[in-house]
Amino acid sequence: MTAGFTYAFDCGTGTFGSYSGSNSTSCGTTDNGTFTVRGRIRDKDGGVNTYSATVTVVNVAPTASFGVSATTVDEGGSVTLSLTSPSDPSSADMTAGFTYAFDCGTGTFGSYSGSNSTSCGTTDNGTFTVRGRIRDKDGGVNTYSATVTVVNVAPTASFGVSATTVDEGGSVTLSLTSPYDPSSADMTAGFTYAFDCGTGTFGSYSGSNSTSCGTTDNGTFTVRGRIRDKDGGVNTYSATVTVVNVAPTASFGVSATTVDEGGSVTLSLTSPSDPSSADMTAGFTYAFDCGTGTFGTPGSASSVSCTMGDAGNLTVRGKIIDKDGGETSYSNSVTVNNIAPEITEISNNGPVLTYQPVQIVVTVSSYAGDTLSYEFDCDNNGVYEVGPQSGNTGVCTFSQKGTYTVGVRVSDDDGASDTGTTEVEVKSYLLFLPLVVRNP
């Protein structure tokens, strides 16, 4: 007892360390397991007693830094999950290394492997919990998680317009073809479509990817198409369509195609039509040419009465005009028959004396628009000595008494004429001499 004792210890390796005067030692652990630890006491004469006990070393899961390359990503994009800076209190585990497993937001981990990172594709929008696990050789596991928001991406398509220029009353077809979405879930679900035919308002969404747009008036219009995915993502496309004005039509009527000078015909435009419903609602204006070669001022009256002028073949016309200035002209021929002048009276101022002028006055019925010429045959021999003249009074002089027939011919400027005669009484000129009485 006075000499004291020495001590030795076995930390579970199966081998004692050297004896020393220290009655205790610290045993580190490098791996999990169940170990027998021992201690010995020895006196100065070599007497030894050995003691033992069992120590259980519990496995500690490894740790790492969990990384997510992006916490917000467009659908169709990808994020990389990684577990870096692995650590384990067990040097044995550190030496053995670790395996890793990842969950890309499906709720299920993939198989463990030696790769400490993985790329996760996205197939639909939403908020997902992604996870990573690190595992040591003894099955110790630590799990890490993070939230990733996948943003919806609107689908795309090719916007088609069957024609960018069309006559009013025609139609164009709008279509959205080759739809695409980076989300495979959206591609599987399909898309809905809506169209604006230039009114400024979209129709209801439907499964049809095309529509036919009728046109009701001329102008330049913006037509649009929309494609929408199941999550409400929308892309809108537009194009410009020019609707060309189409002139209206009507039935052109002429009440008579043959008429006497000074007579009248009625020109009319009936049954107006326009492919534009807007033009039909607004109504039309009309203009007419009564054969002068010039249209009158357009107005709302669809007919006009034309008084025919001088004889000839005239072209009469009518035109219908819509609110946009589109017009259609129609024409027809009207034959105007000449009306020959008619002598209604021939008078004279007889009886007259020889060598005194006698005035022959002619009264004529004729078309007021004609220019008349007058001729007088004083001796009724078929030769008109007086005229032609514009005045209706002719003068003849006779040298002998008697009754004379005077011929008259009246002609219009279209070559028609009328003839007549009048009787003129001519008396002798009496010479009266003064009576001279002589005184015896």
In the chain, the amino acid numbered 240 is T
What top-level class would CATH report for the domain 342-427?
mainly beta
Per-residue CA distances from 1 to 4, 43, 352, 370 (Å): 5, 8, 206, 174
Cis bond before residue 179 (omega within 30° of 0) = no
Torsion sign across C-alpha atoms 363, 364, 365, 370: negative
Cβ burial 135-161 (10 Å sphere, 16+ → b, else e): bbbbebebebebebebebbbbebebbb
Report how far residue 59's alpha carbon sits from residue 137's, in angstroms, rounded to the nearest whole number: 10
> Tell me, what's the pLDDT at 430?
62
Among 74, 79, 81, CA closest to 124 = 74
Residues 300, 283 contacting (CB under 8 angstroms): yes
Low-confidence stretches of the chain (pLDDT beneath 50) = 432-433, 436-437
pTM comes to 0.70
Report how far residue 184's alpha carbon sits from residue 153's, in angstroms, rounded to the nearest whole number: 11
**Kind and range of the H or E element at 281?**
helix 277-282
Residue 93, helix vs strand vs coil: helix
Report how far residue 124's alpha carbon sits from residue 395's, in angstroms, rounded to the nearest whole number: 118
Q: 68 Cβ partners below 8 Å, 6+ apart? A: 79, 80, 81, 130, 146, 148
Work out the burial of residue 60: count CB atoms within 10 Å of its CB; fewer than 13 is exposed, 13-18 middle, 19 or more buried.
Answer: middle
> Tell me, what's the pLDDT at 310?
84
For the chain, the distance separating the N- and C-terminal CA atoms, rounded to the nearest angstrom, is 244
In the chain, the amino acid numbered 213 is C
Six token digits for residue 82: 């990684």
CATH of domain 156-244: 2.60.40.10
Residues 75, 152 contacting (CB under 8 angstroms): yes
Residues 101, 181 contacting (CB under 8 angstroms): no
Q: Per-domain residue ranges for the chain? A: 6-24+32-57, 63-151, 156-244, 249-337, 342-427
Residue 282, helix vs strand vs coil: helix
> Tell me, what's the pLDDT at 369?
82
Report how far residue 276's alpha carbon sits from residue 162's, in angstroms, rounded to the nearest whole number: 20
In the chain, the amino acid numbered 147 is T
> Tell me, what's the pLDDT at 433?
46
Total number of residues shown for the chain: 440
Among 4, 21, 8, CA closest to 52 = 8
What top-level class would CATH report for the domain 249-337?
mainly beta
Specify the residue for token string 């537009």. Answer: 238
Residue 326, helix vs strand vs coil: coil
Among 358, 335, 174, 362, CA closest to 263 = 335
Question: Which of these CATH numbers, 2.40.50.140, 2.60.40.10, 3.40.50.10070, 3.50.50.60, describes 63-151?
Answer: 2.60.40.10
